[in-house]
Amino acid sequence: GTVLLLLCVFAYLAKAAVFVQPVDVKNKQCIWKKYAIPDGAHINLANPCMSLTCDSRLKYLRGASCGRVSLQGYPKNCTLKKGKGIYPKCCKTHVICS
């Protein structure tokens, strides 16, 4: 069947999921996976879709990621298509029904 993008059910994420995570610190930089984030700096990522801010003094990262979008209430032929780009663009989710 033809895939239709239902603009009227275009799902925008109004809320982000916010979190705090302990982290190792070296030379006043928060070390997380392959990233070394300077104290007070933040980075926006695409995969995973999130923003991270370093607090080297307290040894933690503050983060924000996309809220959840549910297909509850939509027909069974609908799926979610994630947005593209770095945070917050990657949070923009579309509901696609075929």
- 12-66, pLDDT tens digit by residue? 334 579 999 999 999 999 999 999 999 999 999 999 999 999 999 999 999 999 9
Q: Give the DSSP letter string of 46-65.
A: TTTTEEEEEETTTTEEEEEE
Task: State residue 69's pLDDT score.
Answer: 82
Bridge-partner residues for 28, per DSSP? none
Q: Token pair for residue 92? A: 């923009």
Task: State residue 5's pLDDT score.
Answer: 32
Give yes or no for a contact between 55 and 63, defined as CB atoms under 8 angstroms apart: no
pLDDT surpassing 80 at residue 71: yes
Enclosing domain of residue 76: 4-97
73-88 residue pLDDT tens: 999 999 999 899 999 9
Q: How many structural domains is the chain composed of? A: 1
The CA distance from 30 to 37, in Å, is 5
pLDDT surpassing 50 at residue 89: yes
Helix (H) or strand (E) holding 87: none
Task: State residue 66's pLDDT score.
Answer: 92
